[in-house]
């Protein structure tokens, strides 16, 4: 997920969006998907329930983003849903990191001084495992590592948390969608319980979301951004949520989104991001926005 400030510890909340299931499974009926915390009796209005919150890159206001420490910080603060960003290393391993380069959130420039611009995809998983991904945030997080997706999923499982997984910059990593599916399956995240209420997949890339839907038609998916109203009906065939910056979620646009049903037969949902720190969650929900990604 994009963030306007880069060096400042990220605000730690995000909203959830998607789910996945084995390609050999029978497609679920829409009513089989559990709600994810939104009160659906009042889509909008002054009595609407607060919008749901997801820990953006973990509780990244309190711990270095996209690390296991941020996952644990979210849990301590009662944030059950955690958002992350997944990319692929040179040797095909999946790691959890936001930027497509390593410089901002690790000491890659010190450890590998001759390898600028330190692109994630130019380093092996073993090389990335050597990096300190915590000191930039605070001395007490020195030695925190860039987690593999495998380690991240294990920690979420241990904590009883749920995942909004963003496939980051898929154009840089051809075939990453299939790799994500394999990893989720290997860690047991494609069973019916996870698909129903514990897993979400999203991307800024429409093509990526469409590919995920083709690989696993049962998965609930989300498109990041604010597509033109004229594109919404086409996207609704393979997605379940449209997740824009809050500033681009006009009343007219929201009405157009909510008139449509998504890939699994339920009304399209909206999870807004780029949300100011003190935004009132109840007022956001009253506008017809199910959740926020701060």
Is 56 an annotated catalytic residue?
yes
Q: What is the homologous superfamily of the domain 30-101+150-229+273-293 according to CATH?
A: Phosphatidylinositol (PI) phosphodiesterase (3.20.20.190)
**More confident site: 2 or 48:** 48
Lowest mean pLDDT of 38-47, 128-137, 160-169, name the range.
38-47
3-state helix, strand, coil in the chain (%, to 5): 30, 15, 55
Find how far residue 100's CA is from the centre of its chain.
16
Q: What is the pLDDT of residue 37?
A: 38
pLDDT band at 44 (very low <50, low <70, confident <90, very high): low
Taking alpha carbons only, the member of 95, 221, 82 closest to residue 161 is 82
Catalytically annotated residue among 28, 56, 258, 264: 56
Q: What is the pLDDT of residue 19?
A: 36
Under 8 Å between Cβ of 133 and 102: no
Catalytically annotated residue among 98, 194, 213, 258: 98
Q: What is the pLDDT of residue 1?
A: 65
Q: How many Cβ atoms from other residues are within 10 Å of residue 59's Cβ? A: 24
Average pLDDT over residues 173-196: 96
Under 8 Å between Cβ of 19 and 200: yes
Residue 22 has pLDDT above 90, yes or no: no
Domain assignments of the chain as residue spans, ordered by start: 30-101+150-229+273-293
């Amino acid at each position: 997920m994009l963030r306007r400030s880069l060096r400042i510890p990220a605000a730690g909340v995000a909203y959830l969006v998607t789910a996945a299931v084995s390609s050999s499974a029978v497609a679920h009926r829409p009513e089989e998907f559990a709600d994810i915390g939104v009160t659906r009796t009042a889509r909008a209005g002054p009595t609407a329930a607060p919008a749901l919150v997801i820990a953006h890159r973990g509780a990244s206001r309190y711990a270095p983003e996209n690390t296991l420490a941020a996952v644990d910080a979210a849990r301590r603060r009662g944030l059950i849903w955690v958002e992350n960003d997944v990319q692929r290393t040179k040797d095909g391993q999946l790691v959890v990191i936001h930027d497509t380069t390593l410089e901002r959130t690790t000491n890659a420039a010190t450890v590998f001084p001759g390898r600028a611009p330190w692109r994630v995809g130019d380093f092996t998983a073993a090389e990335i495992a050597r990096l300190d991904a915590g000191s930039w945030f605070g001395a007490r997080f020195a030695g925190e590592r860039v987690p593999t997706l495998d380690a991240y999923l294990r920690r979420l499982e241990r904590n009883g948390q749920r995942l909004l997984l963003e496939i980051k910059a898929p154009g840089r990593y051809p075939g990453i969608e299939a790799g994500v599916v394999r990893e989720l399956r290997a860690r047991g995240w494609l069973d019916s319980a996870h698909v129903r209420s514990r897993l979400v997949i999203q991307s800024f890339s429409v093509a990526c979301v469409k590919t995920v839907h083709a690989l696993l038609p049962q998965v609930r998916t989300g498109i990041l951004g604010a597509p033109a109203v004229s594109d919404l009906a086409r996207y609704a065939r393979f997605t379940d949520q449209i997740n824009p910056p809050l500033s681009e979620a006009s009343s007219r646009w929201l009405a157009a989104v909510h008139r449509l049903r998504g890939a699994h037969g339920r009304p399209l949902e909206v999870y807004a991001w780029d949300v100011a720190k003190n935004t009132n969650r109840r007022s956001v929900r009253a506008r017809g926005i199910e959740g926020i990604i701060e």
